């Protein structure tokens, strides 16, 4: 079955460390997105990519970086510059053209700073 796979499910980061969250999809979707969710703050867009080798900053890109070298993959790196990285991170994808039915989400990665 097609879907979006995020790994790991849980991740612990030490102060000053960079960590990379994986997101892979086999839905043949062109667009991919990274969101952060904190209690009471809803979904906030970090980065998005609508085509391979191209991506744009979302509303809260500071302290994060991404790459889009393959259509299927959109990894997110949380750098040491991100001062409050503890959150639930969600990757989503969206199909191109035609009648649009919104985003498909992965199961999420819960990142905790220790």
Partner 1 sequence: QKEVEQNSGPLSVPEGAIASLNCTYSDRGSQSFFWYRQYSGKSPELIMFIYSNGDKEDGRFTAQLNKASQYVSLLIRDSQPSDSATYLCAVNPAGNNRKLIWGLGTSLAVNP
Binder among 41, 83, 84, 98 for partner 1 (CB under 8 A): 41
The interface region with partner 1, picked from 19-27, 65-73, 74-82, 99-107 by CB under 8 A, is 99-107
Q: Is 102 in the site for partner 1 (CB under 8 A)?
A: yes
Tell me if 11 sits within 8 A of 112, measured CB to CB: yes
Kindly determine how many residues on this chain lie close enough to bind partner 1 according to the rule CB under 8 A.
19
Contact partners, residue 34, CB within 8 Å, separation at least 6: 23, 45, 46, 47, 48, 58, 64, 66, 74, 76, 89, 90, 91, 92
Least distance to partner 1, CB of residue 67, Å: 20
Which of 27, 31, 60, 61: binder of partner 1 (CB under 8 A)? 31
List residues binding partner 1 (CB under 8 A): 31, 40-43, 45, 48, 50, 90, 94, 100-108
């Amino acid at each position: 079955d097609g879907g979006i796979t995020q790994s790991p499910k849980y991740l612990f980061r030490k102060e000053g460390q960079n960590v990379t969250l994986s997101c892979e999809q086999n839905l043949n979707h062109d667009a991919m997105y990274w969101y952060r969710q904190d209690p009471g703050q809803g979904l906030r867009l970090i980065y998005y990519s609508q085509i391979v080798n191209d991506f744009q900053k979302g509303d809260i890109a500071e302290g994060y970086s991404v790459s889009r070298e393959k259509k299927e993959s959109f990894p997110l790196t949380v750098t040491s510059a991100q001062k409050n990285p503890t959150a639930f991170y969600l990757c989503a994808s969206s199909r191109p053209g035609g009648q649009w039915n919104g985003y498909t989400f992965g199961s999420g990665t819960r990142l905790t700073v220790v």
